[in-house]
Amino acid sequence: MRRLTLLRGLLGAAFAVAAPEAASACTVATANTNLGTTSTFAAASAAQQASGSAGLSCDILLAALTTHYVGLRVEASSFQLTGPGGATIGFTASLAPGGPALGVGSFQDLSSFSLVSLFAGAGGAIPIYIRTTPTASLPAGTYTGSIDLRWHYSVCSLGVAVCLAYSASPGFVRPVPLVTSLNWGSGTTVRININLILEKDCLIDAPAIDFGAAPLVGSFAPVTQTLTIRCSAGAAYSVGLDNGAHGAGAQRRMTNGSAFLAYDILKGAASPDRWGPLGAERRSSGDAEINAGVYNGLAAQGFTYRARIDGAQTTPPAGSYSDTVRVDIEF
């Protein structure tokens, strides 16, 4: 009797080990592709790219037991990211880096791909690749868009030597020779959200100031020229000039070793007002001599200034004098 009980116990243990366990079913879930943060000028000069989940993930450990079926239909998308004031950036979506762009209404039969390569994304997801179209004159802000996809699939989810059960989308019918034909069914829809953040940026063209050469400080002629700045669309700003690398308080100075040559930079071609770094010394983009208040991201503002050497100072030793002045933008 004891031997019979032991035998039954062993048989029960053997059955428990041999019983197949179900693999994780395929899942369809909303996904997000983040194109990151960049400047408006970077978005204008080069495509922004990123990849993310296309919304379908599967456990593919049992896939080799049988033929798998995976199909994709693009249900809807404007293929545009929309930002502040209705500004838009076009984008394309593909299932491979640099691959053919997906289009609304197109159906992709992906069954011929190996599941290892197909579900190559994070968490066993099919990846999708997003690429923007370089677009100029964009305001800074958050840009969003989406793609609605419909997934059809039938992938083995239970089996040992043969597949015993499938993870399948609604209505999917696997083909059986002389019995049933392939029916993709109604599938499962999913939305892929896409996000891009553009930051304000400016391009500055600041020509060097060259006073030339003279024997006495009072012999230097003033230099009049223009600083040009182009910023993101819709971005008003102010621009300041610091006091230089060798300033003494608010007095700008060029240096040659331990010797100094005082100078200053004034607003406009004839104004006595100093162009400085703070408060009223700064200049507004609305007061530029060229394209004042034009914030379309394409037109540059031009700020005229006059640089002059202080003729009242004592003439320092002969030599080459220099300084560096930093231009800063505040939005």
Domain at 102, CATH number: 2.60.40
Count of structural domains, the chain: 2
Side chain identity at residue 276, one-letter code: G
51, 181: one domain:
yes
189, 216: one domain:
no
35, 124: one domain:
yes
Domain termination site, one of 181, 199, 217 = 199
What average pLDDT does the segment 165-174 reach? 93
Residue 64: pLDDT band (50, 70, 90) is: low
30, 128: one domain:
yes
Residue 65: pLDDT band (50, 70, 90) is: low
Smallest CA-to-CA distance from 105 within 138, 143, 76 is with 76
| pLDDT tens by residue, 172-217 | 999 998 899 999 999 999 999 999 999 999 999 999 999 999 999 9
Looking at the domain assignment, is residue 276 inside a domain?
yes
133, 62: one domain:
yes
Measured distance CA(252)–CA(265) in Å, rounded: 8
Residue 300 sits at the vertex; the CA angle it makes with 297 and 306, to the nearest 5 degrees, is: 155
Residue 3: predicted pLDDT: 37
301, 189: one domain:
no
For 325, other C-beta atoms within 10 Å of its C-beta total: 17
84, 161: one domain:
yes
Cα 202 to Cα 78, 155, 253, distances in angstroms: 30, 52, 27
Structure tokens at 89: 């950036």
Structure tokens at 309: 């050497």
**Domain carrying residue 293:** 202-330
Domain termination site, one of 166, 182, 199 = 199
Count of CA atoms in the C-beta half-sphere (13 A) of 256:
10
Residue 309 sits at the vertex; the CA angle it makes with 305 and 310, to the nearest 5 degrees, is: 120
Structure tokens at 67: 């033929």
85, 163: one domain:
yes
Looking at the domain assignment, is residue 13 inside a domain?
no
Looking at the domain assignment, is residue 210 inside a domain?
yes
Q: In this predicted model, which residue has the larger pLDDT, 229 or 121?
A: 229
Percent of the chain's residues with pLDDT above 70? 91
| pLDDT tens by residue, 219-248 | 999 999 999 999 999 999 999 999 999 999
Answer whether 309's CB lies under 8 Å from 217's CB.
Answer: yes
246, 115: one domain:
no
What average pLDDT does the segment 286-293 reach? 97
240, 257: one domain:
yes
Using alpha carbons only, how large is the chain's radius of gyration in Å? 34
